[in-house]
Amino acid sequence: QEKLPSGYVIRPLSRTDNQIRSNTSFLKTLQVLTTVGSISDQAFQDRFTYLKQHSDQYYTIVIEDMNVSSTSPPTPSATPLLVTPGRGKIVGAGTVLVERKFIHELGLVGHIEDIAVSADQQGKKLGQRIIETLMAIGEQVGCYKVILDCSEKNVPFYEKCGFERKGVEMGWYV
User: Which residues lie closer than 8 Å to 48 by C-beta, 6 or more apart?
Assistant: 13, 15, 18
Check binding of 30 to ligand ACO (CB under 6 A).
no
Check binding of 49 to ligand ACO (CB under 6 A).
no
CB of 84 to ligand ACO, least distance (A): 24
| Size of residue set near ligand ACO by CB under 6 A | 22
- Restricting to residues 106-145, which ones interact with ligand ACO according to CB under 6 A? 112-117, 122-128
Check binding of 16 to ligand ACO (CB under 6 A).
no
Name the β-bridge partners of 61: 12, 94
Please name the residue ranges forming H helices in 67-124.
Answer: 103-106
d(CA 171, CA 8): 36
d(CA 17, CA 45): 10
The SS3 assignment for 166 reads: coil
Check binding of 146 to ligand ACO (CB under 6 A).
no
CA distance to 6, 102, 140, per residue, from 114 (Å): 25, 26, 20
Among 72, 120, 153, 174, binds ligand ACO (CB under 6 A): 153
CA angle 121, 93, 81 (to 5 degrees): 105
Among 20, 54, 160, 162, binds ligand ACO (CB under 6 A): 160
Check binding of 33 to ligand ACO (CB under 6 A).
yes
- Residue of this chain nearest to ligand ACO (CB atom): 127
Q: With CB under 6 A as the contact rule, which of the stretches 20-28, 35-43, 69-77, 150-158 interacts with ligand ACO? A: 150-158
The binding site for ligand ACO (CB under 6 A) comprises 32-33, 112-117, 122-128, 148, 150, 153-154, 156-157, 160
